[in-house]
Structures are given as structure tokens and as C-alpha cells.
Structure 1
Amino acid sequence: MSDRYELFLTCPKGLEGLLLDEASTLGLEEAREHTSAIRGMADMETAYRLCLWSRLANRVLLVLRRFPVQDAQSLYEGVLELDWFEHLASSGSLAVEFSGQGSGIDNTHFGALKVKDAIVDKLRLKDGTRPSVDKVNPDLRVHLRLDRGEAILSLDLSGHSLHQRGYRLQQGAAPLKENLAAAVLIRAGWPRIAAEGGALADPMCGVGTFLVEAAMIAADIAPNLTREQWGFSQWLGHVPALWKKVHAEAQQRAEAGMAKPPLWIRGYEADPRLIQPARNNIERAGMGDWIKVYQGEVATFEPRPDQNQKGLVICNPPYGERLGDEASLLYLYQNLGERLRQACMGWEAAVFTGAPDLGKRMGIRSHKQYAFWNGALPCKLLLIKVQPEQFVTGERRTPEQREREREQAEGEKAAPQLNRNGNPIKPAPAPVVEQARLSEGGQMFANRLQKNLKQLGKWARKEGVECYRLYDADMPEYSMAVDLYGDWVHVQEYAAPKSIDPEKAKARMFDAIAAIPQALGVDKNKVVIKRRERQSGTKQYQRQAAQGQFMEVSEGGVKLLVNLTDYLDTGLFLDHRPLRLRIQKEAAGKRFLNLFCYTATATVHAAKGGARSTTSVDLSKTYLDWARRNLSLNGFSDKNRLEQGDVMAWLGEDRGEYELIFIDPPTFSNSKRMEGIFDVQRDHVQLLDLAMARLAKGGVLYFSNNFRKFELDESLATRYQVEEISAQTLDPDFARNPKIHRAWRISLRG
């Protein structure tokens, strides 16, 4: 066998240049880049060193032979020609990996089978013994790549992929592979910073991959020093003496590195479930003296290294798979940028993100960007020098300043305080806080929110309304609804029309979300963002999350529970406020029936208004439990029936009589717990006839729905007294959207 070999080193896409530099430093000669690989020439000692020390490669392939391929038979013969007795015992095991196509071989499984057949046939010529196939831990792993009619037949020296260092047995939801994490650290300049004694902090460390890779680089530890099984371990061409020499050198370097004073390397993670897995991974890597991990939120992140030295802040924030997710993550990136500006002055930062648009929202400029791939996902590494000249900030009014301006505009200023000379005392200016500068569009959106808040806020305070709609796609380019629930903001983004460029829609959404806390003077953590698309059936009722966080709000003298996070809707339809208050005024002494009751907010109002009894019907146990909590919250329970069932079937069996009935059905429902399908346009006549049969003489039924194309059947007016009251059931916060629902007052004739 030759003393010099052609080697292929494979790697994740985008790491070729870094791997070329690393491999050249380790001794690879005549190195050249290929897609997701590099190639070059080296002796066996260098090949071993590449296996042991490459932080970036996936595999080290030693080329055994190149030959032309015209068809499957020539492939077989080309593999058969090699002297396989130099590489594998006939009683051993092998695995074959095949890539590429052409020359009549378009199926990789077929190609691998032909290669395997050739190797087996060659080896059993000696004494009839044939090797077995073991795809998990073979004695020899053979790789053949077919490229434009040429076969490149190689031996995999690495065995399992080199990114599998062996320390990370516990993983988070979407961890970076170890070699990609190492590449990010190298691009971020960590080897230089570590050599200077700098610190490293990861404010979103997950299970600690960046931390471990950084510590191994700083301590000069070969990434695969503890690996026991290699692709060359049972290879007959293996030279144990050379391997022991290379391994012993690496062991000595590791011992020397670990004898140095540890660098300050710290990780912080908000999810308490990941803290112990991260610590376990760190201990398995042998870096427990170098790395500490703590639970902590990004919003409170503040590195505190010894002796006030600077260093590198590195992180891989979540990306978000859907547009709505990305919007929800905007504040996370803003918080990260804020903490960098306030707590990391003079540090360097590296943010690895699959959502570069979010990276731009941190309020701090990157001086370099590098393209990477995380699997199939294109990513960017943003390198940042945390210096004032890199900040993208501007002065913004504080909530106190906005309130003072509002009072001045409305002429509601309190009588001025006077000094001892009888002159008015000028109030001290509120401190100016720096916030990320809004884009032109974001500022325009903020101005609209403030204008609406000035108008609707005055109405809401006067009427004692705590929850109301502030904005409802007033500007078509910012297509969303913004609702206030006390000091919380609930945002529903409407899906953009297909005619709108998705990237522009996403950018506008980010602009708007960035503007909301500044415009309204609210905490970023009290803004909840969801995406609302055209709904069919009861999709709006389906669970979106499972945080289980309920908050208490008030309306018309009653207390109600809302949940802003777990469902698309919150448990309180704001547009039905006037109908609920009307029911409260008319309920005294009456038997009240609430069909499709949802969380029974109208029932609570009826009970508050003095209803003799209430009955509420819904198919969902979840919402009936919510309804029970709403009633109990207000001290109502004994005379309020909650019935689980299909409304149509329930009405067909009920024989009760009610003076006040409220029906607000879904547009469409096909729940598994009901027979058939409910369609409000098709079925409303039958629904109303069944309900009117339960209406007492002199009673009133209120019917409402939000199907935009709904038309009330004209025949109903021939049997009942029907009056459309839609305009009367809209408060000022929904005056801009009169089609939010339609409502009718229906009673018996005569």
C-alpha cells in the first residue's frame, strides 16, 4: 500500500472554507474545496490526526481507487479488481454507503448492493468464507461516490460521524450539531479570545453545546479524544503504533490544557428542564471545572466574569417555524439586543440565527455576517462589536411623558403647584430611556395606535371598559387586530393576501410588533401574538398552547377569566360586550337560556342582572369548566345549570321555557361529539324554530353570528317578530368594523 493517500473530508454545507484551513493546519496537502467536502493528500499519521483533531469534519474518507463506470457491470468489476484481502478479513463485517447516480445506476440502494456483492465475491474466493453486513458497527465501512461517470471508492476512517463527540447524550428540542457549533465559535473568533484569557457566556445555552465546544477549544482538547471505536479500528491497513503516537500527543496536550487555570465560561437557560441535561453533558465532557450553568431569562442576563475581563457572548436563539412564531420571538431578540447594550459593553457577540430578519431587530449592527446551513435551513452568523457606535437607538418618550402629553391635549391638567414666590413649579422631566429606533412604517403604526388610544381610551375610562379593541387593520398594510386586556396586549395577525410579498408582510409585522410596547407604554412581556387565518368550523376554539395562565378582568360589574395564550380566542368576545350588557339589564326575574355558550360570559351577566335561573349549553367540557369558574368567581352557582351536549339535539329533547334566550353559534362545526355537521347558513332556520319553541310568551331571543356572508332566511319574519339590531350592538371600539357580527331581536307574534 502507498505511504501517501488521497483523502476526502466531508462537512456540513457552508463549512468548506473553515475545514480547508483547519485540515491544512493539521497537515493535509494540496487541499481543495468541493461541495460539503474538501480533498487533499496526506500520509497515514496525518489521516489519524485529522480523525482525532478535526472539529469541523463529519467523516474522513481514504480513497482506495478511482475508475470509470459505464454501467452496473463495470461498477461491479471495478470494485472487484481491488485487493480486498489487504483491508478486511473474510470473516469480518462491512457496510456500504453509495451516493450519486448516472451510468444507468439511478438507485443508491442498487448501487450499494453491487459494491457489496463485488467485495463479498472477492473475499470468499480464498476459502469460501464471506463477510457479513452490519450497518451499525461494521469492521469496515466502505463509501462509493459516482460522479459524472467516475467511481470514487473510499474507506471511512471515522466510523460514526465525527460530530458525535460522545458527551451529548441528552439534547434539547433543536440542538446544533457539535461540529457546526465549533464552526460558529471559530468564525466568532473564540480561539483568539480564549488565547487572550477572555470569557464566554451563552444566554440561551440549551444543553450546553456551545459551552462544551468552547471549553475544549480553550483547553486544547482534541474533540474525539475519548472515542473508542473508529472506522479504522478493525481495518487491516491500520498502523496501531502510529495511532498510539498521535493519540498520546493529544492526551499530553489535553493534560497540559486542563492544568491551566480555567477560563470563565457560563451558560444561562430559561427552561428549568434543560439545566440538568446541560450539566450532565458538561460532566461527561470532563469540563465541570470550566463551565457553570444557571437558570435565567434573557431579559435579566448579565455576565459577571472575574477581574472584569471581556469576552464573547454567543447564542443560537430560537428561529420559529411559522410566521406567527417568528413574530412572538421578536421581543426575545429585542431583549437580547438590550442586554448586550446594557450589560456587555466592550464584549464581542455572535448570534447564530435562522431568522436574520429578527436579528436585525436587536437594535445593534453586526460588523460581519457569515452564511451557514443548519441541516437544510439557511442561517446567518451575525458578529457584533458591542460598542456605542454600533447601536441603532433613538430617544423615545417614556409612558410618563406620553401620559403627561395626553392630559395636556385633553385639558385635564391638575392645578399647578406654586413655589414660595407664587410661580408655577415646572415638573422635572421624566428620564429619557433609549429604545430601538422604529422604522418609518413602525413609527407610522405607532402614531395610529396612539391616536386610537387617545380617542378610545377616553371612552373606555368613562364607561369603565377594561378590555377593548384598539386597532383592527385600520391600515391595510398592517393587517392585524390589537386588543387591550387591562395592562396586557393581545395581537392577532391576519394572514396576508396572496398578492402581498410574504417577506414584505413579515417585515411589516415585525415593524408593528416592535412599535406596540413603545406606542402603548407596556412591558414587552405582556404582549401576546397570534396568527389568525380564515377559519372553518371550530378551529378558533382549538388549543394553541398549554400555559394555563388565566387572568381576571372586569366588565359591567362582573368578573371574567380570560386566557391570552392557550387558544386563538381568549374566552371573551369583545364585540359582544353591548349584547352582554343588554342581557344583564333585561334578565331580572327571567329564566335565561344561553346556547353555544362558550365560556358563558353572557350567563354571568344574566345572573348579575338578577335572572331567576340560567341554563347554558355547549358541546365542550373544557369551556363548560371555564364557564363554571366564571360563575363561581362571581358567587353564582346554585341556580345556574351547565349542560354538555349538541345544541340541536339538546333543544329537541328539552321541555323548559325561557323568557330570555341568547344564541351565538359558530359558522361551522363538525365535532366528533355531535351527529352530523352544523352550518349556520343552512341550519339556522331549524335552530331558531327549535329555540323559539322554548321561548315563553312575551320573551325575547337574541341571535347573533359573525359569518360575513350570512343572510337571515326571509321566512322567519313571517312566523316571528324579527328586528335586526346589529348597529345597536357595536361599541365605539368596533365602529370601524361594522361587519364584525350581525344581531337580531326575535320574539313571538301576538
Structure 2
Amino acid sequence: MSDRFELFLTCPKGLEGLLIEEAVGLGLEEAREHTSAVRGMADMETAYRLCLWSRLANRVLLVLKRFPMKDAEDLYHGVLDIEWAEHMVSDGSLAVEFSGHGSGIDNTHFGALKVKDAIVDKLRTPTGERPSIDKINPDLRIHLRLDRGEAILSLDLSGHSLHQRGYRLQQGAAPLKENLAAAILIRAGWPRIAAEGGALSDPMCGVGTFLVEGAMIAADMAPNLNRELWGFTTWLGHVPALWKKLHTEATERAAIGMNKPPLWIRGYEADPRLIQPARNNIERAGLSHWIKVYQGEVGTFEPRPDQNQKGLVICNPPYGERLGDEASLLYLYQNLGERLRQACMGWEAAVFTGAPDLGKRMGIRSHKQYSFWNGALPCKLLLIKVNPDQFVTGERRTPEQRQAEREQAAYDQAPAEPQERQYNKNGNPIKPAPAPVVEQARLSEGGQMFANRLQKNLKLLGKWAKREGVDCYRVYDADMPEYSMAIDLYHDWVHVQEYVAPKSIDPEKASARMFDALAAIPQALNIDKSRVVVKRRERQSGTKQYERQSAQGKFTEVSEGGVKLLVNLTDYLDTGLFLDHRPMRMRIQKEAAGKRFLNLYCYTATASVHAAKGGARSTTSVDLSKTYLDWARRNFSLNGFSDKNRLEQGDVMAWLEASRDEFDMIFIDPPTFSNSKRMEGIFDVQRDHVQLLDLAMARLAPGGVLYFSNNFRKFVLEDNLSERYAVEEISDKTIDPDFARNAKIHRAWKITAR
């Protein structure tokens, strides 16, 4: 057998340039680039070194023979002509892979069969011994590539694909192959950064693939050092002494690297279910003292070990399937960009994405972009230097802007009367600005009286709202019986719900009063009339209040208690946020730290977002509506919380009966009545609340608490519940000042185990 061999190194599409550079560095000669492969010449030592050290290749194929072929017979005889007894024993096992077509072979299975037949026939003994087929762990794996009438017959030295390092036995929903992760790290400059002692951080680490590959590069650890089975292990041409020498050298290099002070390598993952699998993978790779993984959301990501440490932030954000809709993805990328700008100044960043347009939403320019393929999906690697010159969201300032900022800072430090200070949506003080010009109209006597009431309410409630960090609240709720409506402020929008007048009221008078009120609202609240949304609210039954009224799909961002939420003021009768439940949401936020939180009939999961903000260990939100669960995803993403907070679509009663999970805090705000086509039977809160609460209490962990509320005015809590549980009505503690006039808006109870 020759001392020099032709080798083919296969790789994922897009990695060819990196692979040829790596392979040449490992000793490959006369290297040439092909689609998804690199070809060159090498001795056996180099072939072994490529198997052991290549971070990018899928397979190392040693070419046994090239021959022309016109048909299947040429294929058979070309393979038969090889002295197969030099490569395997007659009773060994065999696997054949075939790629390409032409020369009368259009079916790869048929081509593989002809190759197998030739090898078996060559090795068949007079007693009938012959190789068997083993597709999983064969003694010899043969590959034949048909390329424009030429057959290239190779022995697969790698066995299983080299990307399978052996440490990643557990993976997430959208895994990135190890060699692709290594290629991204190399393109991002991690070998240089690691050599300089830089840090590595992944804010969406999944099961830790980037972290492990990065640590192996930094520690000079051969990626396949711990692999036990190779394609050459039982090959008769194998040179064990040569392999042992190379493996020993790699082991010694790894020991030296691992004895160096470990670099600062950290991962953060929103999904608590992936934390332990990530740690298991890291431990199997032998890198537990180098890599640490914590549960954390993108919105709270802080990568810096100290102010002077710099390094690389790398991540593979979801780009379609894991978040489900474009709006959620947009918020996620915006949060990522915001955290990079705020917490990673001076770092480098690498964002690998299948949605490069979303990369532009981060507010930071990439100085380089590289094309890759993740399977069949074209992707981009965006390389970013995190400094103000690259910011595109206002941080890149002109001299005039910097002067304005200095003036602003001087103003911020000067004393001011509280009532003179105004605040932007982030809670930062700004200079008082002239009130916007609102078109004025002459009001009727009734309209002026209505405007006076609104202004009085706004003055009182506005101070309270500003103090509490709330920019969405009820400013009027049928205070004057003749003006029967509810008026809610949502940041700089007004949402008006007209209560239908009783039949005893003259329809013309009711209509006239409504027109008076609509004329007064913009003036009294200093809101442009284009930002006033009006709906008519009748007595509701079932889930009519949740039914679509329009299809504009326009969402507005509001905030309460440090949480940002999305409301839709046009498409449904309700907006996606029940304002009266604000105190309950705030209570949940304050009590959620470290708890497993369950939200039943979750609607848009606003209470779950508050729980996540309060540090809940996990949140699970259940609702029958896919529309509202998609909305919930947007609410989580808007706050930097990924959709790894569980969102479960299903009938609550059936879900509770099937669940075996435990929760430390449960919130239930059921509809009064529901008869959805997607659930069995009809839910009636008065009739079914005992069964509902019993099922929920069965899921409550020892020491846990259940909060139950509903807005059915005639609701009566079943007396016998207090015999089984500790029941405390807390309705009066769940009403904020903006609902003080309507204290019966809902009732609420705190329920715990006795």
C-alpha cells in the first residue's frame, strides 16, 4: 500500500474555505476546494491527525481507487478489482454509502448494492464465509462517489461523522451541529480572542454547543480526543503505533491546556429545562471547571465578569420556528441589541441568524457578514464591534447632540418641583415641553361638564399613576350616570367603551350625550382625536368579549410596574390587558421569586410576564386560544423573556386532569361562561368552580398559594371549600384607585392548603 494517499474531507456547505485552511495547517498537501469538500494528498500520519484534530470536517475519506464507468457492470468490476483482503477479514461487517448519479445509475440504493455485491463476492470463501451488513457500527465503511462518469471509491476513516464529538447526548429543539458551531467561532475570531485571554459568553446557549467548542479551542483540546470507535479501528491497513503516538501527543496538549487558568466562559439560557442537559454536556466534555451555565433571559443578560474584561458574545437566536411569529422575533433581536449596547461596550459580538433582516433591528451595524448554511437553510453570521460608532439607534451622536445631552444632564441635576417634571416612557426626566396643539371645539354645556370631570379625574389619578409607574389606567367609569362609558388611557391613546343605554333612555338623547363626550375627550385629556378608539360594550355572554371586532393587527406598548405589555385597541372588545387585575399582577410579581408559576385561562399571559419579571423559576400559561398564546409570546419577548416560558394550548380542566406537575403559585381568572368548539362541554364558573379549584389545588406544591378571581357579579364561592382549604377573600386588596368607584369589578380569594 502506498505511503501517500488521496484524501477527501467532507464538510457542511459554506465551510470549504475554512476547512482548506485548517487542513493545510494539519499537513494536507496539494489541497483543492470542492463543493462541501476539500481534496488533497497526505501520508497516514496526516490522515490520522485530520481525524483527531479537524473541528470542521464531517468525514475523512481515504481514496482507494478512481476508475471510469459507463454502466453498472463497470461499477461492479471496478470495485471487484481491489484486493479487499488487504482491508478487511472475510467474516467482518460492512456498510456502503453511494452518492451521485449517471452512467445508468439513477438510484443510490442500487449503486450501493452493486458496490456491496462486488466486495462480498471478492471476499467470499470456499466455505461460504462472507462479510455481513451493519449500517450502524461496521468494521469497514465504504463510500463511492460518482462524478461525471468517474467512480471515486473511498474508505471512511472517521466512521461516524466527526461533528459527533460524543459530549452532546442531550440537545434542544433547534440544535447547531458541533462543526458548524466551531466554524462560526473561528470566523468570529475566537481563537485570537482566546489567545489574548478574552471571555466568551452566549446569552441563548441552549445545551452549550458554542461554549464547549469555544472552550476546546481555548484549551487546545482535540475535538475528537475522547472518541473510541473510528472507521479505521478494525481496518487491516490501520497502524496502531502511529495512531497511539498522535493520540498521546493530543492528550498531553489537552492536559497542558486544561492546567492553564481557565478563561471566563459563561452561558445563559431562558428555558430551565435546558440548564441541566447543558451542564451534563459540559461535564461529558470534561470542561465543568471552565464553563458555567445559568438560567437567564436576554433582557437581563450581563456578560461582564468585571468592567475591564472584554471578549466575544456569540449566539444563535431563533429565526422562525422557536418563536412562531415575526413580532416576537423582532422584540427578541431588539432586546439583544439593547443588551449589547448597554452591557457589552468594547466587546465583539457574533450573531448567527437565518433571518438577517432581523439582525438590522438590533441597532448595531455589523462590520462583516459571512454566508453559511445550517442544513438546507441559508444563514448569515453578523460580526459586530460593540462601540458607539456602530450604533444606529441614537447612540451615534453629533456634537450638537452631545451638547444637548450636557444641557440635559445639567437640568437633571437642578432641583425642580415634582409637578413641573415630566418623564419619558423609560421613566427618565425630560425638560417640560409645550403641550401639543389639539384642535379645540366649542363644547355644549353637558360636554363642558363632562370635560371638567375628566380633567379632575386625570389630575388625581395622573399623580398616582406616575408614582406607581403605570401608563395605562381607567380615568372614568360611568361617574356621571348620563354619560355611561368607561374611558381608559393607554400611554398616549384613549380607549372608550360605551355601555349600551337601557331601553328606558331616549336613544336620541343617549346619542347626543355620546357626541358631547367624544368632543370633550380630546380636549380634556390633551389627546389628538385620531388617538381615540371607541367601542360599544353590551352585556356579554360566553366568550363574545374575546371575539374579533376588526383586523387591523395594530399593537401599542404600555407599561406597569416595570413590565412592558402589548395592547390591541381595535381588533377586540377587550384590549389584551385587564386593567382591574393590575394589583393582582403586582402581587404576583412581588411574590414570584424562585417559584414555579401556573396561570390558568391566561389570556395574553400578562400575569405570567409579571411573574417572570419578579424572578419566577418558571412560568406555565394555559389557554384555549392560539391567538392569545401568540400574543403572550410577544409580551414575553417584549420584556426580553423568550418563549421558553411554557405556553400550553388546551382546555384548562382537561389540562389539569392530565398534568402531574407541581407549582408554588397558581393564578386562575376564568371566564364566566365558555362554550368554545375546541373544548368538551360548557364551562360555567358558578357551577364548575369547585371542580376547577380542586383540580388546581391538587397541582399546588406544599406551602404554595392559589389566587382565584372572577368578575361574575352574582358569583358565590361554595361554602364547603373552606372546609378543605384555607380561604381568604382579598377583593378589597386587589382594587387600585382607578377602580375605586367600581369596587365590584371583580372578587378575589387567596387559597392555601390547610
**Does the TM-score normalized on the shorter chain lie above 0.5?**
yes
- Contact 2:170 / 2:281 at 8 angstroms: preserved in 1? yes
2:625 to 567, 571, 575: 567
Distance (whole Å) between structure 1 residues aligned to residue 62 and residue 262 of structure 2: 37
- Contact 2:93 / 2:139 at 8 angstroms: preserved in 1? yes
| DSSP-derived class of the 2:180 partner | helix
Distance (whole Å) between structure 1 residues aligned to residue 673 and residue 82 of structure 2: 85
Distance (whole Å) between structure 1 residues aligned to residue 370 and residue 176 of structure 2: 16
1:301-450 to 2 correspondence within 5 Å? Answer: 301-306=301-306, 308-321=308-321, 325-394=325-394, 398=425, 409=438
- Residue 740 of structure 1 corresponds to none
One-letter amino acid of the structure 2 residue matched with residue 296 of structure 1: G
Q: TM-score, normalised by structure 1?
A: 0.61
What is the deviation of 1:14?
Answer: 0.6
Distance (whole Å) between structure 2 residues aligned to residue 66 and residue 218 of structure 1: 40
Higher relative contact order at CA 8 Å, sep ≥6: structure 1 or structure 2?
A: 2
Distance (whole Å) between structure 2 residues aligned to residue 222 and residue 405 of structure 1: 66
Distance (whole Å) between structure 2 residues aligned to residue 522 and residue 366 of structure 1: 34
Q: State the superposition RMSD in angstroms.
A: 4.3
Q: For 1:73-120, what per-residue CA distance to the aligned partner results, in whole angstroms no more than 9, with x for missing partners?
A: 110000000111110111111100011111111111110000000001
One-letter amino acid of the structure 1 residue matched with residue 425 of structure 2: T
- Residue 78 of structure 2 corresponds to 78
Distance (whole Å) between structure 2 residues aligned to residue 359 and residue 16 of structure 1: 25
- Residue 565 of structure 2 corresponds to 526
What is the deviation of 1:129?
Answer: 1.9
- Residue 576 of structure 1 corresponds to none
Consecutive aligned runs of 4 or more in structure 1 exceeding 6 Å deviation: 399-408, 410-415, 450-453, 458-465, 490-496, 520-524, 614-618
Distance (whole Å) between structure 2 residues aligned to residue 522 and residue 638 of structure 1: 31
**Does residue 1:39 correspond to 2:78, yes or no?**
no
What is the deviation of 1:326?
Answer: 2.8
Distance (whole Å) between structure 2 residues aligned to residue 36 and residue 552 of structure 1: 46
Distance (whole Å) between structure 2 residues aligned to residue 272 and residue 217 of structure 1: 27
- Residue 62 of structure 2 corresponds to 62
Identical aligned residues as a percent: 70
Are residues 306 and 153 of structure 1, via their aligned partners in 2, closer, same or farther at CA, if it must alter by over 3 Å?
same
Q: For 1:481-529, what per-residue CA distance to the aligned partner results, in whole angstroms no more than 9, with x for missing partners?
A: 9xxxxxxxx9999999xxxxxxxxxxxx9xx87xx449x9997852389
**Does residue 1:119 correspond to 2:178, yes or no?**
no
- Residue 202 of structure 1 corresponds to 202
Q: For 1:249-308, what per-residue CA distance to the aligned partner results, in whole angstroms no more than 9, with x for missing partners?
A: 101100110110000000011111111111111011000010001111110000132573
What is the deviation of 1:394?
Answer: 2.9
What is the deviation of 1:618?
Answer: 6.4
What is the deviation of 1:370?
Answer: 0.7
**Does residue 1:624 correspond to 2:683, yes or no?**
yes
Are residues 570 and 167 of structure 1, via their aligned partners in 2, closer, same or farther at CA, if it must alter by over 3 Å?
closer
| DSSP-derived class of the 2:357 partner | helix
Are residues 616 and 311 of structure 1, via their aligned partners in 2, closer, same or farther at CA, if it must alter by over 3 Å?
closer
- Residue 403 of structure 2 corresponds to none
What is the deviation of 1:552?
Answer: 11
Distance (whole Å) between structure 1 residues aligned to residue 673 and residue 496 of structure 2: 36
| DSSP-derived class of the 2:144 partner | strand
Distance (whole Å) between structure 2 residues aligned to residue 337 and residue 393 of structure 1: 10
- Residue 550 of structure 1 corresponds to 602
Distance (whole Å) between structure 2 residues aligned to residue 30 and residue 239 of structure 1: 24
Number of residue pairs matched by the alignment: 508
What is the deviation of 1:624?
Answer: 1.5
What is the deviation of 1:548?
Answer: 3.9
What is the deviation of 1:211?
Answer: 0.5
- Contact 1:57 / 1:179 at 8 angstroms: preserved in 2? yes
Q: TM-score, normalised by structure 2?
A: 0.61
Distance (whole Å) between structure 1 residues aligned to residue 105 and residue 684 of structure 2: 62
- Contact 1:75 / 1:115 at 8 angstroms: preserved in 2? yes
- Residue 290 of structure 1 corresponds to 290
Distance (whole Å) between structure 1 residues aligned to residue 53 and residue 198 of structure 2: 23
Q: For 1:209-257, what per-residue CA distance to the aligned partner results, in whole angstroms no more than 9, with x for missing partners?
A: 1010000000000000010100000000001111011111101100110
1:597-608 to 2 correspondence within 5 Å? Answer: none
Are residues 239 and 618 of structure 1, via their aligned partners in 2, closer, same or farther at CA, if it must alter by over 3 Å?
closer
- Contact 1:326 / 1:358 at 8 angstroms: preserved in 2? no
1:646-665 to 2 correspondence within 5 Å? Answer: none
- Contact 2:675 / 2:682 at 8 angstroms: preserved in 1? no
- Residue 52 of structure 1 corresponds to 52
Are residues 59 and 460 of structure 1, via their aligned partners in 2, closer, same or farther at CA, if it must alter by over 3 Å?
farther
Distance (whole Å) between structure 1 residues aligned to residue 298 and residue 48 of structure 2: 42
- Residue 499 of structure 1 corresponds to none
One-letter amino acid of the structure 1 residue matched with residue 683 of structure 2: L
Distance (whole Å) between structure 2 residues aligned to residue 349 and residue 492 of structure 1: 42
What is the deviation of 1:402?
Answer: 12
- Contact 2:124 / 2:130 at 8 angstroms: preserved in 1? yes
Distance (whole Å) between structure 2 residues aligned to residue 392 and residue 297 of structure 1: 24
Distance (whole Å) between structure 1 residues aligned to residue 79 and residue 169 of structure 2: 38
- Residue 636 of structure 1 corresponds to 714
Distance (whole Å) between structure 2 residues aligned to residue 113 and residue 104 of structure 1: 14
| DSSP-derived class of the 2:281 partner | helix
What is the deviation of 1:175?
Answer: 1.0
- Residue 591 of structure 1 corresponds to none
Are residues 549 and 353 of structure 1, via their aligned partners in 2, closer, same or farther at CA, if it must alter by over 3 Å?
farther
| DSSP-derived class of the 1:393 partner | coil
| DSSP-derived class of the 2:241 partner | helix
One-letter amino acid of the structure 1 residue matched with residue 98 of structure 2: F
- Contact 1:170 / 1:281 at 8 angstroms: preserved in 2? yes
| DSSP-derived class of the 1:526 partner | strand
- Contact 1:10 / 1:59 at 8 angstroms: preserved in 2? yes
1:5-16 to 2 correspondence within 5 Å? Answer: 5-16=5-16
| DSSP-derived class of the 2:394 partner | strand
- Contact 1:313 / 1:348 at 8 angstroms: preserved in 2? yes
- Contact 1:407 / 1:413 at 8 angstroms: preserved in 2? no
What is the deviation of 1:634?
Answer: 3.0
What is the deviation of 1:356?
Answer: 1.0
Q: List alignment gaps of at least 5 residues for structure 2.
A: 396-422, 441-450, 460-487, 500-512, 519-529, 536-545, 572-597, 606-620, 630-650, 653-671, 690-707, 719-754
Distance (whole Å) between structure 1 residues aligned to residue 103 and residue 493 of structure 2: 74
What is the deviation of 1:621?
Answer: 3.7
What is the deviation of 1:615?
Answer: 9.6
One-letter amino acid of the structure 2 residue matched with residue 624 of structure 1: F
What is the deviation of 1:550?
Answer: 2.7
Are residues 631 and 19 of structure 1, via their aligned partners in 2, closer, same or farther at CA, if it must alter by over 3 Å?
closer
Are residues 338 and 323 of structure 1, via their aligned partners in 2, closer, same or farther at CA, if it must alter by over 3 Å?
closer
